[in-house]
Amino acid sequence: MIIVMQAEATAAQISEVEGALQTWGYEIHPIYGVERTVIAAVGAPTQDEARVSEQVESLPAVERAVLILKPYRFASKEYRPEKSVVKVGDVVIGGEGFVMMAGPCTVESEEQLMETARAVKAAGATVLRGGAYKPSTSPYSFQGMGEDGLKLLAQAREETGLPVITEVMHVGNIDLVCKYADILQIGTRNMQNYDLLIEVGKVKKPVMLKRGMSSKIEEWLQAAEYIIKGGNEAVMLCERGVRTFETYTRNTLDISAVLAVRELSHLPIVVDPSQGTGKSSMVPAMCKAALVVGADGLLVEVHPNPEKALKDGAQSITIPAFQTLMQEMAVIASAIGKKL
Ligand code: PEP
Ligand code: MN
């Protein structure tokens, strides 16, 4: 932390700040300039620096305290310079390969789920997605099949061998969702549900943390920090688009977030172009963009009859479109040395 004193700070005020920092356990390195004094405070790793910086800023003649360390530790690249991988059975997310997670937005029926699961598996997907509990902006839209949906996901896994990812919406449901799911999805609306993050930090299942629709990357990484700090290191991130002034697309898919996460963190990152664009016509191209930019995988909504989907039909691609996408992705993957 660097403390910048006001130009008119007196010697007594400067030594008051120095004394306070030493009391908090910092070693101080002051620079007494002609115009003003700057104090570098180092070596108190157990302090909550954000709190200390606010306390320092409340002392007389302090202009500002600047934090140097990232507000997330375990999620940072400084903590772990090499990329981390998340393993789900035989599927490795964050390794050499590129992982396709595909399936319907929402589990609607046995027929719909099984048909989709068989088709995405045959086309090369290695994880099945499907929501049983759906967070909806409107209380009148379909809220999901609940436990019956989870049972269908387990049945689809049984038949296809695909591990399943599904959303857990609240703390009271974690045990139930864990009973059926292989990966827990934390949705965009819950990225800052800190009680939920703390609780999924205690379970032994991988977690995919979606970016809050209005969240900065730093806030997203701090949310991941909650889970890792709680003891669950199997965390992957998912960029799913953010709110901007644009309304033509449902969200603005922030492809550059993949690069930002790579620069800041060791966590695997996948991209969800379905929520990210809201338009099935844009999904295949965005999938390719995610592959080329260096994401670790995709989460894609596929539906046998998008026009009949109970949720997110406009952004769901058909089974034939998914098959074509997989073939085109394979060509790109081999050109850039990635394994699909
Ligand atoms: C979804 O994956 O269907 C979903 C609801 O995602 P998000 O939380 O990103 O809106
Ligand atoms: Mn959806």
- Chain-centroid distance of CA 114 in Å reads 28
Q: Which domains, and CATH codes, for the chain?
A: 2-66 (3.30.70.1140), 86-335 (3.20.20.70)
pLDDT at position 46? 75
Residue type at position 39: I
Residue 114, pLDDT score: 98
- Can you give the pLDDT at residue 223? 98
First to last CA, the chain: 44
Indicate which residue's Cα is closest to atom 1 of ligand 1: 105
Q: Which of 105, 213, 298 to mutate to test the pocket of ligand 1 (most atoms within 8 A of CB)?
A: 105
Distance of CA 137 from the midpoint of ligand 1 (Å): 11
Measured distance CA(285)–CA(280) in Å, rounded: 10
Gyration radius (Cα) of the chain, Å: 23
Question: At 302, which amino acid appears?
Answer: V
Give CA 46 to chain center in angstroms.
26
CA distance to 164, 182, 258, per residue, from 178 (Å): 11, 7, 28
Give the closest ligand to the alpha carbon of residue 241. Answer: 1
Provide the residue type at 23 as one letter: T
Kindly give the distance from the C-alpha atom of residue 106 to the centroid of ligand 2, in angstroms, as a whole number.
Answer: 7
Q: Is 210 in the pocket of ligand 1 (CB under 6 A)?
A: yes
Q: How far away, in angstroms, is 44 Cα from ligand 2 center?
A: 44
pLDDT of 69: 86
C-alpha of residue 46 to centroid of ligand 2, in Å: 41
Nearest CA to 217 out of 278, 162, 258, 173 is that of 258
Q: Tell the residue nearest (CA) to atom 4 of ligand 1.
A: 187
Q: What is the pLDDT of residues 54-74, one digit of tens each?
A: 999 999 999 999 998 888 999
CB 275 near ligand 1, within 6 Å? yes
Task: Note the pLDDT of residue 43.
Answer: 87
Q: What is the DSSP letter of 1?
A: -
Kindly state if the Cβ of 131 falls inside 6 Å of ligand 1.
Answer: yes
Q: How much distance in Å is there from the Cα of 302 to the middle of ligand 2?
A: 10
Closest Cα to atom 3 of ligand 1: 105
Residue of the CA atom closest to atom 2 of ligand 1: 105
Report, as ranges of residue numbers, the positions in the chain whose pLDDT lies below 50. none
Q: What is the pLDDT of residue 108?
A: 98
| 294 touches 97 (CB < 8 A) | no
C-alpha 77 – ligand 1 centre gap (Å): 27
Residue with tokens 């589990």: 107
Question: Rounded to an integer, what distance in angstroms lies between the CA atom of residue 340 and that of residue 331?
Answer: 10
